[in-house]
Structure 1
């Protein structure tokens, strides 16, 4: 956009026909945008992303005393309008240079209004779904597998060409069984379990098939700041300063990950740059002396006065290995024994929503490549992604100001201030590392590597 204004209007690409020969229209984009913010239950879990659109927060039930808000549930009041079949107009609450990124998110992709009216929630099943794009859904066995088929009606564009691979079959497996299938010749691409990294790197064949690529994701531990002993910022700092991030990426994950000293990964628009200096945020290598000083300065005073502590993670081999390494660091550097509890992923997410433990792990990958998606989208006090129960009005004020600032350097400087509060002054979280994508791929697959693991299979080729 040449100029940031309160109404953001742009052309939607509507060139592709669906499998039923119906082109998607501006009305379909309109339906999608308002559906993301439609009650009950606040609409989509991602409805907050669209709260920058006029009235979307109040309509979706995101405002205080939501059910008493006169706009609650009135979807016609959301600031989205289909001007014609090819144009959608969004009216925003404030200027937002990052809004085109939000408009391109999956929650705002066009959906077929006629099909949703006919099938309701079942419209996304393989036997019903109609979509636009280079691939269509052929089969979906929930939690097991998914098959995509090349869309014969996709015309191809310079950015999104016609696919050359006719079928793509996914199996929904954890790293270890996925890699076993890869070695058995049952799959062409796989993620890599941590336990196999050394063997793969030493193998003359497998090492050539291993690729690591940057990802705009951050691996972190969060504290429930309402539960002792992490109701004390000095205790939180002690636990953060006691972690050797360099050792974790070098000896545990081994996939080229980068030790993280703040949350918003460098490379995102307006995110803090890597040249901030070693005195910003927690250290890359552990500082046991400083960590013990923080603990001594806390209201607890010493390790023996801390209550029993539980660290929770989901049941994935890599997360468990990282947690065990950090357990050992806390034992060695602080003299604190921490219990580790793991849960199945869906149960784990429910736990974080309902009653977060004292300390827990998560990762965050970008939805749109801007620091706003990290700093404000995750840790603003009213974000549904903020499981820390941490509230800091000054932090909220800074990230809100950064969201409307149009000068890139000023936005960067504001996010530096926000990150300093988040990871250093209040230490509400422990940033651990910035992800890399670690895949192993058969030599006959010519592929691209999308940021955030957003793959563009239409650009892949099979050479066999």
Structure 2
């Protein structure tokens, strides 16, 4: 779920107000305090691209499908079942009939039911995402839908030609450009979640503000003080409300992990990401070490190049930069969280990724070869190299990583790279815009566990977001053919070749490491860990303590 991805801390604290006894006489807290890590750029599902926004949308809006936290299996949510035609081109989803839109008035605390959530709302949302007027940066995800790309790019202007249609109030049908066995996952993504036409048309860009917004998920929006805090309250009309234990989520927006972790240690927070600078101490502490959880996460940390800007328009320079720093040393001395050096864009656990294929070549740490490549590019010992700027979103962790790599490039290649940073919301606009930095930092986390979500949807020259502004005809054809194939072995073979072009032959990006989830949780918090999309906080419990 990127959406362009930045990892932000997910920090949880229990409020001191206690609810009635839970099942089996267990006393539970009714509120939980969490940290988003930054201001969400948007709460509009059709506009979301980042994990912060997606986390909020996960709690406010339902999708046709979701993913099982343990198995990664695509499971029903708003849909009850779906059918696929023999040719794989037509997907029909049958929806629940007990899901309603609700309006919450923060002033009076009144909850008003605004009518059923229907297939017409799904159709409206999909077409709205693809409408060029909406300017959704994630619209490319729906290019798999018939005429989705043509409508989004203005080649056609009739939305009725897009391959999504409500057959009746509770049946929605999608027609695809080509078979895609992973489409059930796409159908449940935030950009395809039903959104309410009435408040959107009434309030425009302000429709997601408290008092304006309608939602249909386990929570409603009570407060949004921008750059400060957000409060969500339990939706009593939610179809599974009886099983939602936590009634209020108080979201803070603390950017720095060190501040949040200090709050955790002070007893103010119940869950906290662990800053890399504190990890050795946490591992050695008899109490904190028992609260520490480290596990692989379906995300890759990488640097992208704007391949149109000198000198990184030269693949020799890009290759030199990629092999000019020591990934393992970065992990051992800076990150310390059991991460693995990345040799591919897609991480282990993604279908089609060659990350664990022993035949896929690792990107070497080879300063001598890197200096040779720089010389071949016309910059012996880095002399004459134009100024290069590496940009990252404001964060202590990202700064530490950037400074390590900056120093490695200086020591190993003799080049100076300038660092710059921007606040997350501004940074996303910069990276997605026409003037993408020469080198930029992002993380990509799976929206659904298939290589198509990684290589095609990120780096295809016309079918993906392509922030690197790169065009490689061979790569484009490989990922197109892989997307269209129903042969798993053939798809893996094609993705192997595509990843090699992307990360080694052309070095259009620098894969740096595969993420791990590094988090401390108090023993009285019962939680799940979502491998895809936002955390399912509606399934959590906090015991009285």
What TM-score, normalized to structure 2?
Answer: 0.78
Aligned to 2:215: 131
CA shift in 2, pair 1:131/1:344, >3 Å: closer
Aligned to 1:23: 116
Shift, 1:114, TM fit: 3.8
CA shift in 2, pair 1:127/1:84, >3 Å: same
Aligned to 1:415: 495
Aligned to 1:212: 294
Q: Give the Cα separation in 1 of the matches to 2:337 and 2:97.
A: 39
Shift, 1:437, TM fit: 2.1
1:39 and 2:121 aligned: no
What does 1:40-189 align with in structure 2 at a 5 Å threshold?
Answer: 40=133, 43-60=135-152, 62=153, 66=154, 69=155, 71-72=156-157, 74-156=158-240, 162-174=243-255, 175-189=257-271
Aligned to 2:76: none
What does 1:343-422 align with in structure 2 at a 5 Å threshold?
Answer: 343-352=422-431, 353-382=433-462, 385-422=465-502
Q: Is the 8 A contact 1:35 1:43 kept in 2?
A: no
Shift, 1:404, TM fit: 0.9
Q: Is the 8 A contact 1:242 1:287 kept in 2?
A: yes
Q: Give the Cα separation in 2 of the matches to 1:109 and 1:227.
A: 37
Aligned to 1:282: 363
Aligned to 1:262: 344
Aligned to 2:391: 312
Q: Does the residue aligned with 2:181 lie in a helix, a strand or coil? A: coil
Aligned to 1:322: 401
CA shift in 2, pair 1:349/1:154, >3 Å: closer
Which stretch has the larger CA shift, 374-383 or 298-307? 298-307
Q: Give the Cα separation in 2 of the matches to 1:97 and 1:161.
A: 34
Q: Give the Cα separation in 2 of the matches to 1:113 and 1:232.
A: 47
Structure whose residues are more often strand by fraction: 2
TM-superposition CA deviations, 1:259-279 (whole Å, max 9, x none): 1001011211222240234x6
Q: Does the residue aligned with 1:275 lie in a helix, a strand or coil? A: coil
Q: Give the Cα separation in 2 of the matches to 1:213 and 1:449.
A: 10
Aligned to 2:34: none
Shift, 1:229, TM fit: 2.3
Structure whose residues are more often helix by fraction: 1
Q: Does the residue aligned with 2:212 lie in a helix, a strand or coil? A: coil
Q: Give the Cα separation in 1 of the matches to 2:140 and 2:533.
A: 23
Q: What are structure 1's unaligned runs of at least 5 residues? A: none
Shift, 1:135, TM fit: 2.3
Q: Is the 8 A contact 2:143 2:463 kept in 1?
A: no
Which stretch has the larger CA shift, 110-119 or 399-408? 110-119
Shift, 1:166, TM fit: 1.6
Q: Give the Cα separation in 2 of the matches to 1:440 and 1:221.
A: 28
Q: Is the 8 A contact 1:311 1:338 kept in 2?
A: yes
Q: What are structure 2's unaligned runs of at least 5 residues? A: 1-82, 103-111
Q: Give the Cα separation in 2 of the matches to 1:133 and 1:343.
A: 32
Q: Does the residue aligned with 1:36 lie in a helix, a strand or coil? A: helix
Moved over 6 A (4+): none
RMSD: 2.1
Aligned to 2:75: none
CA shift in 2, pair 1:303/1:119, >3 Å: closer
Q: Does the residue aligned with 2:311 lie in a helix, a strand or coil? A: coil
Shift, 1:161, TM fit: 7.5
Q: Does the residue aligned with 2:165 lie in a helix, a strand or coil? A: strand
Shift, 1:94, TM fit: 1.4
Q: Is the 8 A contact 2:344 2:355 kept in 1?
A: no
Aligned to 1:446: 526
What TM-score, normalized to structure 1?
Answer: 0.90
Q: Give the Cα separation in 2 of the matches to 1:424 and 1:455.
A: 34
Aligned length: 449
Q: Give the Cα separation in 2 of the matches to 1:325 and 1:375.
A: 27
TM-superposition CA deviations, 1:34-86 (whole Å, max 9, x none): 1101132x6322111112212222222x2xxx4xx3x23x2222111101122
Q: Select 1:338's aligned residue among 417, 422, 427.
A: 417
Shift, 1:4, TM fit: 4.7
CA shift in 2, pair 1:107/1:453, >3 Å: closer
Q: Does the residue aligned with 1:354 lie in a helix, a strand or coil? A: coil
Q: Is the 8 A contact 2:88 2:181 kept in 1?
A: no
Q: Is the 8 A contact 2:461 2:476 kept in 1?
A: yes
Shift, 1:230, TM fit: 1.8
